[in-house]
Structure 1
Amino acid sequence: MLGYVLANFFVYAGVNAFTPGPGNILALNTVTNYGWGKGKPLFFGIFAGYYAVQLICAVFVYGVGEFLPHALPVMKYVGAIYILWLAVHIAVSRPEVCAEQGSASFWKGFLLQFVNVKIYMFGITALTGFVTPYSKVLWILIGVEFLIATIGTIATFTWIGGGLLIQEFYSRHYRIINIVLALTLLECIWSMLCT
């Protein structure tokens, strides 16, 4: 059972991290417009912001678990609704790359993550759906959130590394890719609610 939950956690984390989101799209757009050298400050800002937001998520979930312990099981259902919304959104979305993206600064990338609702929901849902049923220890929550931030960083590096190649491939095959990703998220909901 734990192996099943862990497998679904990694599926959820992978789908969430590798699908287009504000950070991945901005990184892709920046590398295609400025290249690696000029884009580095923005990329490192995105990465640092990701870790900072996930730390906030871990402390938030820990605080809720300590002070409102009956809220955590409810948050699992809120997380399941979010994943369902994400699955539908992914299934019907089309590739869009922002043409206007401005400068490639560290602070632009860092601050983007603080308004990126996707990664807050990613972190909180991962903890309440896959971790807190087994452990509510703060250092474990922080460790899992840093794992999530690392997966997210790898995903963003993938978008950076692929540059136009990923953009062109995704643009040609986005419909089937999005449907497969959405279906895998539905499996994640099932595993969350059955634990």
Structure 2
Amino acid sequence: MPGAVFLELAAYACATTFSPGPNNILLLSCTSKFGFKKCLPLIFGIWTGLLSVMLICGFGCAWLGELVPQVVPYAKYVGAAYILYLAYRTLLRKTGSADGDSTAPLTYVNGFLLQFLNVKILSLGIAAYSGYILPHGFQVPMILGFAATMAGCAATGNLIWATVGTILFPLYKRFNTAINVVMALLLVWCAWKIIFM
């Protein structure tokens, strides 16, 4: 893959993965409630799930290209329902300190599964692979580079959003209800965008 194409892919990956979406809003919400350290399993779940989805997109793009148009009408509702569940869980969170809180942050499995239910991630992976990699032929190193680039950009964006949540952590105790409502509404907005995109 020519260097210019790789730079275009990296720019595409950063632009799409740094923007607000279910992963980033969920991380902002969770780290503002529980702090960065307690949300590490969720973060790693998101990262490994996204890398898995990107590898599936890369190695199975021809098959996925035919399957996705058939699956998306149904998958987007399943994904939106899962995001609405996360919004509901966010809205009902109780206040408390990070050390004495009886509720637990979302888990590795929650983050991992979200990637397979997130139609945005599937669509971004297929679009990026089809537009940047497939025209240059099918080569395993290119597929691995594609998956690593997408996952690396997403991980950077996730860390930025999680860090912002950590900065908000001291404010959470004071404004927990307002923060929960805003984060839940943002997740509802993500679900709405998935259904009506």
**TM-aligned CA deviation for residue 165 of structure 1:** 6.0
Scaled by the length of structure 2, what TM-score is found? Answer: 0.60
Q: Match of 1:137? A: 139
Question: Superposed, which structure 2 residues align to 1:36-75 within 5 Å?
Answer: 36-61=36-61
Separation in 2 of the partners of 1:63 and 1:99?
35
Q: Is this contact kept in 1: 2:28–2:165, CA < 8 A?
A: yes
Q: 1:152 aligns with which of 139, 151, 154?
A: 154
Separation in 2 of the partners of 1:107 and 1:20?
21
**TM-aligned CA deviation for residue 98 of structure 1:** 4.4
Identity within the alignment, %: 32
Separation in 2 of the partners of 1:113 and 1:13?
15
> Is there any run of 5+ residues in structure 1 with no aligned partner, and where?
66-70, 79-96, 167-195
> Is there any run of 5+ residues in structure 2 with no aligned partner, and where?
70-85, 94-104, 169-197
Scaled by the length of structure 1, what TM-score is found? Answer: 0.61
SS in 1 for 2:127: helix
Structure 1 pair 30–63 and aligned structure 2 pair: CA distance change class (3 A): same
Q: Match of 1:18? A: 18
Alignment of 1:27 onto 2:33: no
**TM-aligned CA deviation for residue 39 of structure 1:** 1.3
**TM-aligned CA deviation for residue 56 of structure 1:** 0.9
SS in 2 for 1:133: helix
**TM-aligned CA deviation for residue 127 of structure 1:** 1.0
Structure 1 pair 134–104 and aligned structure 2 pair: CA distance change class (3 A): same
Q: CA RMSD, aligned part only?
A: 2.9
Which 4+ residue blocks in structure 1 deviate beyond 6 angstroms? none
SS in 1 for 2:106: coil
Q: Is this contact kept in 2: 1:44–1:106, CA < 8 A?
A: yes
1:104 is matched by which residue type in structure 2?
A: L
Structure 1 pair 38–113 and aligned structure 2 pair: CA distance change class (3 A): same
Q: Match of 2:100? A: none
**TM-aligned CA deviation for residue 38 of structure 1:** 1.7
Q: 1:111 aligns with which of 107, 110, 113?
A: 113
Q: Match of 1:121? A: 123
Separation in 2 of the partners of 1:5 and 1:137?
15
**TM-aligned CA deviation for residue 8 of structure 1:** 2.9
Q: Is this contact kept in 2: 1:29–1:98, CA < 8 A?
A: no
Q: How many residues align?
A: 137
